[in-house]
Chains A and B, each alone.
Chain A
Amino acid sequence: MPKQTFIVNGERVTVKVADNVRVLWVLRDLLGVHGPKYGCGINVCKACTSHINGKAFNPCSVRVGDLERDDEITTIEGLPDTVGKDLHPMQEAWIDRDVPQCGYCQPGQIMAATALVNKVHAEDREITEADLDTIRNICRCGTYNRIREAVKQGASKM
């Protein structure tokens, strides 16, 4: 059984698991990191959205064998550490706007939102309604308008 080594939320981990197991299951079933959720397993619902080397990705669609030793995966659990605080500004905006209903999609929503805002800021511009329209994460409770408000509010503090 191959050993897989990579970094999760700042800690280097080594797991014995076959190359083709998707990163989502390695995180959830083997490492007990439950922030990224399963909602489809085919990179559609985006409930598992996390970051790899600072960019959004969906661990349901990446084989663990394709990770490099120095690849840094950040899940919702590790997001506050990226800004050295108890909560990332996007999480604070989410609480302030009372975004979650059932909460199942919210880790993925927040990880997608922070990556989107970072991308937009890197292009030296502010987030637009058209940017918000591109967010693919499903919220089956339908709290989309509060998500839009929170992304804008979080962006203003990032």
Chain B
Amino acid sequence: MSVQAQAVDPTPAAGLSRRSFVGWVLGGATLVTAADLTLGRGVARASVPSGPQVPELYDLEDLQTDAALPTSQLITVTMNDDGTASFELPRMEVGQGITTSTAMIIAEELDIDPGQVKVGLAPARPELIFNQLTGGSNTTVSTYTPIRVAAAIAKGALLDAAAAELGYAADQLTTRAGVVSAPDGSSLTYGELASKAASPRTKQVDVELKKAGDFSVIGTARNRDDALLAVTGRKKFIQDLHVKGALPTMVCRPPTLNGSPKKLRNKKKILRMPGVKNVAIVDTGVAVRAKTFGQCIDAIRAMDVVWNPGSVEGESDRTIMARLKKAELPLAVPDVPVLADQVDTDFEFMFRSSAALEPNGAIADVRDDRATIWAGLKVPILAQENIAKELGMSIDQVTVNVITGGGSFGHKLFSDHAIEAAKISKKMGKPVKLMWHRADEPRQGRLHPMATSRIRATMLAGEVLTFEQRNTSVVTDFSHGLGEIITSTIDEAPTEVGRTLGGLGFSETIFTLTQELPYDFGVVTQLLNETDDRFNTGSMRNIYSPDTAVAAELTIDQMAAKMGKDPLEFRLAFLKDDRTKAVLEKVAKEGNWGRTMPKGMAQGIAIHKEYKGSTACLVEIDCRPRTVDRDIYHAVTGPRVTKAVFAVDAGLVINPRGLEAQMMGGFSDGLALTLTSSCHLRNGHFLEASWDNYFYTRQWNIPPEFECHIVDSGTDQPGGAGEAGVPSSAAAVACAYARATGTMPKRFPINHDELSFKPKSFVPPVPQSPRDGLKYTY
């Protein structure tokens, strides 16, 4: 369907209620309806006094939702003659459940079963400009209204067609489960009406959306639409696709971070190895294409490569931390009475890997006059632009297909893998199926930057006068498109927000747009300073907030202690936001806050406010030696969180089962960030090369008891979910650990100083697969 409609002012016309919108029926042989993806932007925000922090007025969600205003952004719902509806979502599914929730939103307005809605992923659509970025937990926030509008128009057109067929006025007809019924009992299915409802030409129509009180799909628990495919092994990831001639391809990578190949000394020998077809030098290493990935690994291990130095030769955790310390912004001690109590804290956060279980990979078929790419990409438009630039092609010569990802956690915001595959395919003159080795991921892949967080709080006579937080971080790379969104959108922000953000860099802007401390702490300032851009970094799930929340909530426990108050009592006394209070009260009640625990065990409690919602987490941790030292084969054990109680207010919830899944996953991430997962930089390279080196949460770390409570605050707008579970989880675990051990941890994760594995070789850069697997059957 290529009928293009005119863009209109997306602001609802005067007099129209918030449920009334304008959209289109597109000209064609079957019913296709469209809405502008920019619909649903909130009403103009009122000017407010200077007290609140920026995210209270305007946050990253608003920025992303506003980002598309100047463009015409059509999304379409198609009715098929088998009674199903189809929709291509201009976002990427990476496990967060957006195809399922999107099907539910469409089903709600159309009155059909969600199973009858087929939601696919749109390929790169350059005309969407900034509106095809999956990130910031923004998908449902930004697409909820436009998708409903398109679906509601489709239902209206079906009703009009049925009215003509059945001889009744449209408002006398009812719809249910994909069937339109007339008062006399006659009926027609949506499938029968799909082509009759089609319009020969594009026309604009007004539409009224369903009242929230009439919802029967939204808010009900629904399993994932791809669960059957996933559990039968039929769900296709990038490495499972068959593209003719695209043989397994891997890259021999440099021994130090961001090194580059100078020369392959034994090319002839490598080309004679079993299965090996092609070898090519690219800027990131020496690529090999072979019949199997195993033969690629053999070839990589046999390569004799001369390397150029990397970007951080000789550097280590210690030297990078020293640079950060030098760059720390001073805490501006405010003018407070001399009798005021002061709490000063200082925390360090190590490098962490955002790698998913599915390693980086992409298929590329680059020909002389065109290129086709298949990859998991959260910003496919930018990938398309960058690939075109790299190949010396125009954008319309490059097709970029978005494939569902095996996890992202921020990793797939960048198109490193797709660009690398395109370069290799061009150089070899063959289609390639590129896959990174696991060892490549922590060693050369994107990381969450090392950072410090310092806090100074002052208190007097039971009041908090000031709370200053200063984060200092290795540079976070935002060159995946969010940076461009900011440049182009910041002028759209309310005036006072624009003034605050004007002149800040991308990172500082994102920090300012995401950090909000919902406590009445007098003068609150939270600032970021960055230094050192030599690392491969990115926005790992929830960007700055896990570190910021851990630092703030640990400090708040210290402040409470200084005032002689219980951590819960102190938080409830100072929280200024009712939604946050409600989730905190929920976990305190459900988790039985304050119950007596044995020595070496303790509870911890923490909150976080972001993504137009609030979360709270209560955990119980066991730090007794017999637990810490429990023996599990080749495992890092350490303290065990034995129970976690989580509460979330995510605004209007589309699919509670999906929301709960995101909180569970967010908790696992937060647990790892605080207790176990980090990368060690030594002498210019990261040591980790395996999941038994990089200790993401495993079964032996997980609390046997986990509960998630969804708290409804009655709002009619959805909030974000994908990242919302991480910060209060990380913070609650840190607070519990501090209370159980009597010592506040200052470096995260807490086990970072203990290197509990023998690093794998750097030359060759990948380990050989073992041969003894049959010894370990069970």
Residues of A within 8 A of B (CB): 17-18, 20-22, 24-26, 28-30, 32, 34-45, 47, 52, 55-63, 66, 75-77, 80, 87, 91, 94-95, 98-107, 110, 115-116, 119, 129, 132-148
Contact = CB atoms under 8 A, between A and B. Distances in A.
Interface stretch (B562-570, B584-592, B770-778): B770-778
Interface string B49-83: 00000000000000000000000000000000000
A43 B223 contact: no
Contact of B696 (A18, A52, A75, A138): A138
A140 B773 contact: no
A25 B770 CA distance: 13
B230 A100 contact: yes
Contacts of A41: 293, 297, 437-438, 766-767, 769
Given A24-B294, A40-B690, A87-B232, A18 B274 contact: yes
B669 interface: yes
B45 interface: no
A98 B232 contact: no
8 contacts: A17-B292, A25-B294, A101-B224, A102-B406, A104-B237, A107-B233, A115-B778, A142-B669
A43 B776 contact: yes
B643 to A, nearest CB: 11
Contact of B699 (A57, A61, A77, A144): A144
Contacts of A21: 275, 292, 294-295
Nearest to A45: B691
A72 to B, nearest CB: 13
B357 interface: yes
Contacts of B657: 98
Report the 6 A-B pairs with minimum CB-CB distance, sorted nearest first.
A142-B668, A35-B233, A102-B95, A104-B406, A103-B230, A61-B773
Contact of A98 (B224, B359, B702, B776): B224
B325 interface: no
B778 A116 contact: yes
B691 A59 contact: no
B407 A104 contact: yes
Contact of A25 (B292, B767, B774, B777): B292
Nearest to B222: A98
A118 B596 CA distance: 39
Contacts of B228: 95
A95 B223 contact: yes
Interface stretch (B138-146, B532-540, B658-666, B744-752): B658-666
A55 B295 contact: no
B293 A29 contact: yes
A25 B632 CA distance: 30
Given A24-B294, A98-B657, 7 more contacts: A22-B769, A24-B769, A43-B773, A107-B233, A110-B231, A138-B696, A144-B702
A42 B438 contact: yes
B226 A62 contact: no
Contacts, number: 233
B239 A55 contact: no
Nearest to A67: B774
A66 B229 contact: no
Contacts of A119: 778
B706 interface: yes
A100 B224 contact: yes
Contacts of B544: none
Contacts of A135: 699
Count class of interface residues, chain B: 35 or more
A44 B690 contact: yes
Nearest to B729: A142
A29 B291 contact: yes
Interface of B: 94-97, 223-224, 226-237, 239-240, 242, 248, 274-275, 291-295, 297-298, 355-359, 404-407, 409, 435, 437-438, 632-633, 657, 661, 664-669, 690-692, 696-700, 702-704, 706, 766-767, 769-774, 776-778
Contacts of B229: 103
B774 A62 contact: yes
Contact of A43 (B298, B700, B770): B770
A94 B227 contact: yes
Contacts of A100: 95, 224, 226-227, 230-231
B438 A63 contact: no
B664 A146 contact: yes
A102 B356 contact: yes
A144 to B, nearest CB: 4
A44 B690 CA distance: 7
Given A102-B356, A103-B229, A39 B438 contact: yes
Contacts of A17: 292
Nearest to A95: B227
B274 A42 contact: no
B227 A142 contact: no
Contacts of A39: 357-359, 438, 691
A99 B700 CA distance: 18
A124 B103 CA distance: 45
A58 B776 contact: yes
B773 A106 contact: no
B228 to A, nearest CB: 6
B771 A29 contact: no
A32 B235 CA distance: 14
A38 B233 contact: no
Contact of B771 (A34, A38, A44, A66): A66
Contacts of B771: 20, 61-63, 66
Contacts of A80: 232
A104 B356 contact: yes
Contact of A59 (B223, B692, B773, B776): B773
Contact of A57 (B696, B766, B776): B776
A53 to B, nearest CB: 8
Contacts of B355: 140
A40 B673 CA distance: 21
Given A62-B771, A77-B232, A110-B231, A104 B665 contact: no
Contacts of B239: 28, 34, 37-38
Contacts of B665: 101, 141-143
A139 B702 CA distance: 11
A29 to B, nearest CB: 4
B407 A62 contact: no
B407 A140 contact: yes
Given A18-B274, A39-B359, A142 B697 contact: yes
A35 B235 CA distance: 8
A87 to B, nearest CB: 7
A20 B358 CA distance: 24
A133 B97 contact: no
A41 B473 CA distance: 33
